[in-house]
Amino acid sequence: MIGAAFSVTLASAQGGDENAFACLFRDIQPALLRYLHVITPEAEDVAGETWLQVVKGLPGFRGGEEAFRAWLFTIARHRAVDAGRSRSRRTDVPLAVTEAVEDPAGPDAAELALEAITTRSVVALIKTLPREHAEIIMLRVVAGLEAADVARIVGKTPGAVRVTAHRALRRLAELVERAGVTH
Amino acid sequence: MPGFPFPGRPGGEPDEPLLDMIIARRVLPPDAPQPMHDLVSMLAALAGPAESGELAGEAAVRAAFSRAASPAGISAAARRPGRRRRTRRFRGPARSRARLATALVVAVAGLGSVFAAYIDVLPSPIQQLAHVTVAAPAPPSSSPRHTGAARTPPDRHAANQPSSQPGSRPQHSSPAPLPGTLTPSPSFKPESPGRRSPGPSCTPVGGHSPSPQPKPTGRPSPPSWSPPAHCTGLPAGPSSVPTLNPYPHLSGIPRD
């Protein structure tokens, strides 16, 4: 997150400063891409469409950094849902197949994640969770959104988001422990 | 557990405070279970800086931004509401206010027109139309009740008023009126183009109560409107020319 300099950066970007906009892009793009990798197989395309819409709506945006991130991730989720619908119309494959399926060899993913803690391995581990759990963990922990914003994005109450996040973390902890890596 | 900033909710799971700390990206106490520490490491990596390839789309996004940030792009984007919900919410009252204002203006204009028709201050053709549509009083030139002294403001026609006697001939000469025709009152003043004035008052001659006649103003009547038959005594038609013309000096049509 940019922090105290966000308002100045945003104002410059809204005024047409390309470098200021690039600063926003570099700050949010990693989290955005990782989040999209969890919820859609077309993460790069959806991320591009998300930024295009952000560019269009940027002059009219008003708010702080948290509101900006919530706005951007809301756009990203909508674009991902649209991509999923058009993908299902094209291939006639049931949506359930494209959803993240709990990998029966979960501990392998956990082992990989522990052996080489990289973003890809951790994303792969989180994708073994149920879709709802994985999405909330990404939005809360990786995107850094507050529970209220996450609730608004996924259509749940803040209390339900908190409970779901706890369940997801417990499940992750179980996977890590089952991997047998003891310290 | 002592030292935990998140006491957890009463009756909740014992690990809830730890989980809240993980979500908040805070450092766990040393005596926390090892899987929790491993989880913290993994999630910290996930929330870390960009890795290779993750910023590959920057050039394309910059190009899109440059196109949108051009003067035409910024003005067009600035006109578009970015926060649709907020602007839509704020747009409602302004639209309703504009509609209300328009409706009020139209209503006032309509009422004013009707009022003007009822107090007989409209030009004769319009007054005639109002007489037909909203039962406003007929134009003074066609009404048997009106007299010159009663209907005409004295100041306006005082200079052209040879006498105040009803039925007397106007100063601008005209042939002697035939029985059963209308004669203009002495106070009548022909209407100049672009000037609104009350219609002339007519005085019946010979006990005849004439039917209303259109007021000759020198301006052509609208082709779509023709006086009703009872007004001219002749079959109504756009091409019919009234033979009983009390104001031949205005229309240039000689009287029979």
- At residue B99 the predicted structure's pLDDT band, cuts being 50, 70 and 90, is confident
Structural domains of chain A ordered from first start: 3-95 (1.10.1740.10), 100-178 (1.10.10.10)
The predicted structure's pLDDT at residue B62: 92
Residues in chain B closer than 8 A to A114 (CB atoms): 38, 42
User: What are the tens digits of pLDDT across the range B155-170?
Assistant: 544 444 444 444 444 4
Whole-prediction pTM value? Answer: 0.54
DSSP one-letter code for B192: P
Average pLDDT value for chain B: 63
Contact B34, A183 (CB under 8 A): yes
pLDDT above 60 (res B182): no
- Among A44, A3, A56, which Cα is nearest to A27's? A3
- Select the residue of A22, A57, A122 nearest B42 (Cβ to Cβ): A122
Measured from the Cβ of residue B168, the count of other Cβ atoms closer than 10 Å reads 15
Taking CB atoms and an 8 Å limit, are B35 and A48 in contact across chains? no
Q: How far is CA B233 from CA A39, B41, B206, B208, in A?
A: 87, 106, 17, 13
Q: Which helix (H) or strand (E) holds A170?
A: helix A158-178
Chains A and B form CB pairs within 8 A to the count of 135
Q: Which helix (H) or strand (E) holds B202?
A: strand B202-204
- At residue B107 the predicted structure's pLDDT band, cuts being 50, 70 and 90, is confident
Please identify among residues 132-151 of chain A the ones whose CB lies closer than 8 Å to any CB of chain B. 138, 140-142, 144
The predicted structure's pLDDT at residue A38: 94
The predicted structure's pLDDT at residue B103: 83
The predicted structure's pLDDT at residue B108: 84
Positions of chain A with pLDDT under 70? 91-108, 110-117, 180-183
- Select the residue of B15, B23, B45 nearest A165 (Cβ to Cβ): B23
Please report how many Cα atoms fall inside a 13 Å half-sphere around the Cα of residue B181, on the Cβ side.
Answer: 16
Answer whether B45 touches A (CB < 8 Å).
Answer: yes
Q: How many whole angstroms separate alpha carbon B233 and alpha carbon B214? A: 12
- At residue B200 the predicted structure's pLDDT band, cuts being 50, 70 and 90, is very low
A90-104, B48-62, B121-135, B218-232: range with lowest mean pLDDT: B218-232
- At residue B229 the predicted structure's pLDDT band, cuts being 50, 70 and 90, is very low
